[in-house]
Structure 1
Amino acid sequence: MALKVLYALDTARTQWYHFKAIIIAGMGLFSDAYDLFCLPPILRLLGRIYYQKSHLPTDNFDNNDNNFVIHRHVDSTLLGVAFLGTAIGQLVFGRLGDRIGRRRMYGLSLMVMILSALGCGFSICTSPSCVLVSLGFFRFLLGVGIGGDYPLSATIMSEFANKRTRGSFIAAVFSMQGFGILASSIVTMVVCGIFHGASHPKPKEKTPIEADLAWRLILMLGAIPAAMTYYWRMMMPETARYTALVELNVQQAAKDMEKVLDVSLSQIAEDESLTLPQDPSSYPLFSKQFLRLHGRDLFGCSASWFLVDIVFYSSNLFQSQVYGKYLGKKYKSNVYEDAINVALFQAILAICSTIPGYWLTVYFIDRIGRRKIQMMGFLVMALVYFAIGIPYTSYWQDNINGGFMVLYGLTFLFANFGPNTTTFIVPAELFPARFRSTCHGISGAAGKVGAIIGAVGFGSASHGQTEDHKAVKILLVILGGVCLLGLAVTYFFTPETKGRSLEENEE
């Protein structure tokens, strides 16, 4: 049955409310990226404050020092607990979004993010291990809130958008991550610059006690963008598709859409005598009928997201090695300059490759299609990893130059102009309304399992007590192979969703 309100959503011209929804939904992804990507420079501060004690490492610093090894384990652990929380949040909030409603859970996930970001800054104890356990706990809760935002933001945007520009709208929501990465870098540089100007530490002096306040402030500032959009999230109506197709209240769906779209109620209201049949997808989740109709799609979405996150987060961890070798400032500057240099390097990558990748997807996704962009991204990433990995020990390990940086930047460009963005979009378009948020959460949780493998596995292997160039080479080649596997999964299991309504994609 073609409902008038759903037809109006699919054919509506682009209006101010669409852009407002992008900003409101995207601010959660902005906060997500800020909270996750402010961690690398903060780990520099934590390493200097809690593991180098009274003196800073010098050029002759022994990598076999136990403090250095503990720092690397802390690095992987703090990333891992955040990703574990994200996976749990995606599963829990995704399911609740289908059972209770998108709007009701939307504000709750954002509130968890706000309180957890503030909690990270209040990780106050008397010993380094106690501080980091407390920080890890709040990072886990922060991950739960971030995870909840993924399926809700994607589903809400897909259900508000028209079918002609739906891909661009969802991609624009996801692209806010790029600006979150850039914002985290800028805030880190500004905060560390202020503290540096106030204390003027020298490279071989004891780390200033004020540095312990700097990292807390950086983390707590991440609560501001989330808090700014909390009111507007609570003012958003429930999506018409959820109200009409899950709650079976077509009249209320029409009233809600009249408030936000430039359309009169008489155009979209159904006859009062209309009685909707029970939802045709009355089978339960993971039943035989669900698996027969949607199991292939769910596997394709989950496997693609799992594979791309292995690669994407491994690349982010490899960034510390690139930073040290290319800029030559690893362990040479004082505590604030060290964090500023890492943040600056992240900002340059964001401006030159990450943000352009997101917006290339925004422009092309409704022209080229999701499937082609995802396949292209996996293919180019595979070729770049092979170009870096195969000659790594014979050429790149001692010659990280401008050519290497271009190749390294291409991995981020084509991750975002490719599977990192499309895996966020496709699950929000394929499944029935009463399973849409749940299936997006399952796909995203599979991705975060891949992120844990990339963060913990690659981090442990490539940052051991001594740097093993051969191991790094093998890992880079493996990442290229993972990209080829992602290409195969996309080719065989990912359908094209461009240009069709959500109900047509469901069928």
Structure 2
Amino acid sequence: MADDGMHHHRHHNPTNYGIVSAPHGPETGDDHASFKEGISEQQQFELFKPIMYPDDSYTAEGTYWADLPFMKMLSFNRAVDNAETKKELGQIWAMMKKDPLSPVGWYFRNAVLPGAGLGLEGYVLFSIGNLAALFDVVWKSCWKSYTTCNETWVNAVTYLEIVGIIIGQILVGYLGDKIGRRWGLIQDAVIMFLGLIMLTASWGTTLNGWVICYALSLMFYGVGVGGEYPMTATAAMENATGSGKVSTKEDRLHRGRKVTMAFLMQGWGQFFNQAVLILLLLIFHHGSGNPPYSEISAQWTYRVSFALPAVGTLWLVYYRWYKMPLASKALDAAKKKASVTGYDVKSLKLTMNHFGGRLIATAGAWYCNDVFFYGNKLFQSQFISVISPTPKGQTASIMTGWLWNLVNVGVELVGYYLASFLIDNKFVGRKNMQQLGFLMCFICFVVPAFHYHYYAEETAHIGAFQALYFLSSFFNQFGPNSTTFLVAAEVFPTPVRASAHGFSAAVGKLGALTAAVLYAYITTQQKFYVVPWFGLAGMLVTLLFLPDTTGLDLKEQERRFSYLQQGREEDYHGVAVNPHHLSLWERLRGAGKHYNPQLDRDSKMADMAAEWEAKQFERSEKSRTEEGLSPDDDAFEDEYTPEMHAVLKSRANTGLKPAGPPSPSNSSGISNEKVAPLKA
């Protein structure tokens, strides 16, 4: 930012967190003024302690949980988690006493609706591999021998699907940061609805013409699918952090759960697709799942399977248009603070300069994961043929593969839910889960790779091979498949969050494309030779470049970014640069060298005072009616008591001087000379 622009907005721009003298804001009353005159510095900090040192993150002495010795850290976090669990169970019990079905309604509002787009795309996206098994049997000359269809176009069905997804992830990620989350969400739903109509009605005068129409329709649908990734992740994450609260306990303790609960709807989409295909084939094949299958039954099965989610997607268009008016609120607030309209190019440059390592982590880990995940899904029939081989002389029943896949998806759902329950546990956390998942996927594939005959071809050991296959599915969902979706949005600032997530997801889909191309030319055993090393690479990328943001308030991360926007990196001393929340790469580059709890305490007061003064200035400029503000816009002021308003007014008017060099401090990092330790 240019100096003249910065100084021009110095007093009233909310992004200015400088510790400077500010002009007088609107009067808040003589009582407040007289209160301020008689309050000491220590009393002020006692007054603001619940906001500055929330008890879910700080001890009674004011020590941040990540600064505690290991055993004390475990004890503190266990106490916080136990108290939160007890509170939530009490709330659930109270809801059930009032209405036994109310928890179901809560889950629908907080998990099903936010993840509905991912559920629908999961249903359609993974149906392609399931339907390929049916097409192989019914239209052998087209899908298997390629005598009536062009082999390139048949293979393009898989490739173009992934290409469409990549286009959507990058394009909609960019548009989501430029025009807002709400319109990105609406656009995705519209594209997916039109794509489903095209898939349901796909036709051709020849079989090859139908394949071409099918492939292009799938590519168009894929654009909407790709957009769902950055839009769902950012919208689910910003729903709490964009509420206007200074600090949100819900965000710190349950942000990961909130996002992964939406993401796991993808697993339910896969489950319902497989279940629906089984039921439809039984219906249209006269109650039998055994071959031979007629073309009529195949046509009805696959077309009705696409028509059903079209109805749900049309409802999704309605819901996002009329029921999500504030989906872009956090982004709009960030742009307003930075005085930016359109795409925030400056924030993108800052992100590349300061968070480039994180981009390597999110994109690289996603790439490694998708080699596992999509390779497993697109070519699962080859793995299942090893687990459940067809006797010689008999025609394979696609029901066998479909039923085994239904079991596999059930195992994956267990992994999805366990990830959702543990991802906010500070002892487990995102980074540890991702590394563990990659490691277990590596082991589950490398063991049969070097003992393939023993596990995959000797009948006595097929059960062990099956167990390894299902374990790889479980740990993929419990680990990198869930965590990559979360951290790709979480570790980046709001102005470029959708772009960074979209780019990371797009690189991930290159991993899916790698699997699609590679698996077409190598044997099943060779797949086991190649794939494990992507798990090992993903674990190393995570170890080096991914920070652990478990328990970190995203408001604090945004506060750090505002300092970076002003070119004042050295003035930020808060927990966002605590070594625990930085990657190994960032620590080696010195990103955490300015961390200082004592200096940060004074900075927080100055920042709150500056933001309070800016809010008051806005209120004096325009009436609420003219601004068209919603009730949520009072959240900042509602967080404070009248006494707090008096302190903030005084500090905004007089300015808080820089704290200077740190003096000897106690275990909390708060100076003993300046202020006594905070009391419980």
The answer, yes or no, to whether TM exceeds 0.5 is yes
The answer to which structure, 1 or 2, has the higher relative contact order (CA under 8 A, 6+ apart) is 1
**Structure 1 CA distance, aligned partners of 2:138 and 2:124?**
20
Q: Contact 2:160–2:219 at 8 Å: present in 1 too? A: yes
**How much has 1:456 moved relative to structure 2?**
2.0
* 1:236 aligned residue (320, 324, 332): 324
* 2:196 aligned residue (99, 117, 140): 117
**How much has 1:121 moved relative to structure 2?**
1.5
* 1:382 aligned residue (420, 442, 457): 442
**How much has 1:495 moved relative to structure 2?**
0.3
Q: Residue 370 and residue 76 in structure 1: after superposition, are their counterparts in 2 closer, same or farther (change >3 A)?
A: farther
Q: Which amino acid aligns with 1:495?
A: P
**1:245-296 Cα deviation digits (max 9, x unpaired):** 12x2xxxxxxxxxxxxxxxxxxxxxxxxxxx5647x9653653x43221211
Q: Secondary structure at the match of 2:346?
A: coil
Q: Which amino acid aligns with 1:214?
A: T
**Structure 2 CA distance, aligned partners of 1:452 and 1:66?**
23
**Structure 1 CA distance, aligned partners of 2:195 and 2:470?**
32
Q: Secondary structure at the match of 1:425?
A: helix
Q: Secondary structure at the match of 2:522?
A: helix
TM-score w.r.t. the length of structure 1 is 0.81
**1:54-93 Cα deviation digits (max 9, x unpaired):** xx9xxxxxxxx83499798666422221111011001011
Q: Which amino acid aligns with 1:167?
A: G
**Structure 2 CA distance, aligned partners of 1:390 and 1:110?**
45
**Structure 1 CA distance, aligned partners of 2:186 and 2:203?**
28
**How much has 1:390 moved relative to structure 2?**
1.1
Counterpart of 2:405? 346
Q: Which amino acid aligns with 2:264?
A: S
Comparing 98-107 with 236-245, greater Cα deviation is found at 236-245
* 1:366 aligned residue (400, 404, 424): 424
Unaligned residue ranges in structure 2 (runs of 5+): 1-13, 18-50, 57-83, 92-104, 241-250, 561-680
**Structure 2 CA distance, aligned partners of 1:95 and 1:24?**
24
* Cα root mean square deviation, aligned: 3.2
- Could you say which structure has the larger radius of gyration? 2
1:180 aligns with 2:180: no
* 1:442 aligned residue (489, 503, 510): 503
Identity of counterpart residues, as a percentage?
A: 27
Q: Contact 2:418–2:478 at 8 Å: present in 1 too? A: yes
* 1:418 aligned residue (474, 479, 498): 479
**Structure 1 CA distance, aligned partners of 2:338 and 2:191?**
37
Q: Residue 32 and residue 395 in structure 1: after superposition, are their counterparts in 2 closer, same or farther (change >3 A)?
A: same
**How much has 1:479 moved relative to structure 2?**
1.1
Q: Contact 2:173–2:498 at 8 Å: present in 1 too? A: yes
1:146 aligns with 2:225: yes
1:128 aligns with 2:207: yes
Alignment of 1:167-246 (within 5 A): 167-197=256-286, 203=291, 207-234=294-321, 235-239=323-327, 240-246=329-335
Comparing 74-83 with 308-317, greater Cα deviation is found at 74-83
**How much has 1:494 moved relative to structure 2?**
0.4
1:38 aligns with 2:127: yes
**Structure 1 CA distance, aligned partners of 2:281 and 2:391?**
17
**Structure 2 CA distance, aligned partners of 1:135 and 1:298?**
34
**How much has 1:225 moved relative to structure 2?**
2.7
Q: Residue 207 and residue 421 in structure 1: after superposition, are their counterparts in 2 closer, same or farther (change >3 A)?
A: same
Q: Residue 502 and residue 201 in structure 1: after superposition, are their counterparts in 2 closer, same or farther (change >3 A)?
A: closer
**Structure 2 CA distance, aligned partners of 1:379 and 1:312?**
14
* 1:316 aligned residue (377, 387, 390): 377
1:284 aligns with 2:346: yes
Counterpart of 1:404? 465
**How much has 1:432 moved relative to structure 2?**
1.5
Unaligned residue ranges in structure 1 (runs of 5+): 57-64, 249-275, 463-471
Q: Contact 1:29–1:149 at 8 Å: present in 2 too? A: yes
Q: Which amino acid aligns with 1:284?
A: K
**1:137-176 Cα deviation digits (max 9, x unpaired):** 0100111000011100000000013232000010111110
**Structure 1 CA distance, aligned partners of 2:188 and 2:210?**
25
Q: Residue 201 and residue 299 in structure 1: after superposition, are their counterparts in 2 closer, same or farther (change >3 A)?
A: closer
Comparing 42-51 with 98-107, greater Cα deviation is found at 42-51
**Structure 1 CA distance, aligned partners of 2:521 and 2:392?**
20
**1:196-223 Cα deviation digits (max 9, x unpaired):** 117x7974x6734342232122122232
**Structure 2 CA distance, aligned partners of 1:369 and 1:43?**
38
**Structure 1 CA distance, aligned partners of 2:391 and 2:227?**
36
**Structure 2 CA distance, aligned partners of 1:103 and 1:229?**
12
**How much has 1:498 moved relative to structure 2?**
1.2
* 2:526 aligned residue (441, 450, 474): 474
Q: Residue 305 and residue 277 in structure 1: after superposition, are their counterparts in 2 closer, same or farther (change >3 A)?
A: closer
Q: Which amino acid aligns with 1:350?
A: V
Q: Contact 1:193–1:340 at 8 Å: present in 2 too? A: no
Q: Contact 2:446–2:529 at 8 Å: present in 1 too? A: yes
Q: Contact 1:431–1:439 at 8 Å: present in 2 too? A: yes
1:491 aligns with 2:553: no
1:304 aligns with 2:373: no
**Structure 1 CA distance, aligned partners of 2:454 and 2:517?**
27
* 1:356 aligned residue (404, 414, 430): 414
Q: Residue 295 and residue 18 in structure 1: after superposition, are their counterparts in 2 closer, same or farther (change >3 A)?
A: farther
**Structure 1 CA distance, aligned partners of 2:377 and 2:126?**
9
Comparing 361-370 with 322-331, greater Cα deviation is found at 322-331
**Structure 1 CA distance, aligned partners of 2:381 and 2:151?**
11
**Structure 2 CA distance, aligned partners of 1:201 and 1:500?**
52
**Structure 1 CA distance, aligned partners of 2:344 and 2:264?**
35
**Structure 1 CA distance, aligned partners of 2:346 and 2:258?**
30
TM-score w.r.t. the length of structure 2 is 0.61
Q: Contact 1:314–1:459 at 8 Å: present in 2 too? A: no
**Structure 2 CA distance, aligned partners of 1:72 and 1:185?**
26
> How many correspondences in the alignment?
450
**How much has 1:477 moved relative to structure 2?**
2.5
Counterpart of 2:554? 502
**How much has 1:299 moved relative to structure 2?**
1.4
**Structure 2 CA distance, aligned partners of 1:188 and 1:34?**
11
**1:409-464 Cα deviation digits (max 9, x unpaired):** 011100100001100000211112110111100000000111111122113323xx
**How much has 1:503 moved relative to structure 2?**
3.6
**Structure 1 CA distance, aligned partners of 2:480 and 2:148?**
33
**Structure 1 CA distance, aligned partners of 2:422 and 2:465?**
27
**How much has 1:124 moved relative to structure 2?**
1.1
**How much has 1:502 moved relative to structure 2?**
2.1
Q: Contact 2:124–2:306 at 8 Å: present in 1 too? A: yes
Q: Contact 2:347–2:495 at 8 Å: present in 1 too? A: no
**Structure 1 CA distance, aligned partners of 2:108 and 2:285?**
39
**How much has 1:177 moved relative to structure 2?**
1.0
Q: Contact 2:153–2:212 at 8 Å: present in 1 too? A: no
